[in-house]
Amino acid sequence: MKKIDWRPQMELSYPPLDDEHKRFLHVVNVAQEIAEKGFLNEMDAIYEKCYEYARTHFPNEEDVMERISFPDLESHIKSHQKFISNISELRQSFHHTNDDAIRQKIALQTANFLSTWFLGHILGRDKVYKPYLVRLRNLPPRMNYDS
């Protein structure tokens, strides 16, 4: 798959979350490069970065969505959980074999999954809570994500 460029439509206009999305997009693009070039030893670092994204960004985003009373929070949380289980499955099958041809295939599958997931999730799901972010302004300072 082609390298994904950051587009204005991806912007939530909320820097803390936009920055996390941008950093993860970099991981997605690096994964694509690594998989295409067959640098299989570097795949573990990619899986680790995916978990790191899930450990930090997902709770941050869910926390914001809760504060702004985003009505579709539960199904959004489910889609985050689905990402974690997809990545775990891919990582497991990557480690399940020593056959480099198979590992190469799984690396490509992983990279394509990440690209597809990124586009689908950012443009299809994260975008949906964007209009609710104006509510952050009305919360007391202590409730604001930035403080």
Select 90 or 126, whichever has its Cβ closest to Fe ion.
126
| Least distance (Å) between residue 95 CB and Fe ion | 27
Interacting residues toward Fe ion by CB under 5 A: 61, 126
| Least distance (Å) between residue 80 CB and Fe ion | 6
- In the numeric block, the tokens 């997809």 are attached to 86
| Least distance (Å) between residue 50 CB and Fe ion | 13
* 3 state DSSP class of 38: coil
Closest residue by beta carbon to Fe ion: 126
Q: Where are the beta strands (DSSP E) in the chain?
A: none
Structure token pair of residue 23: 């950093």
In terms of Cα–Cα distance, which of 137, 114, 129 is closest to 61? 129
Select 44 or 72, whichever has its Cβ closest to Fe ion.
72
| Least distance (Å) between residue 76 CB and Fe ion | 6
The residue count for the chain: 147
Structural Rg of the chain based on CA atoms? 17
| Least distance (Å) between residue 111 CB and Fe ion | 19
What angle is formed at CA 63 by the lines to CA 140 and CA 141, rounded to 5 degrees? 15
Select 29 or 126, whichever has its Cβ closest to Fe ion.
126
Select 61 or 70, whichever has its Cβ closest to Fe ion.
61
Beta-carbon contacts of 14 under 8 Å, excluding residues fewer than 6 positions away, are 64, 133, 136
* 3 state DSSP class of 76: helix
Select 74 or 99, whichever has its Cβ closest to Fe ion.
74
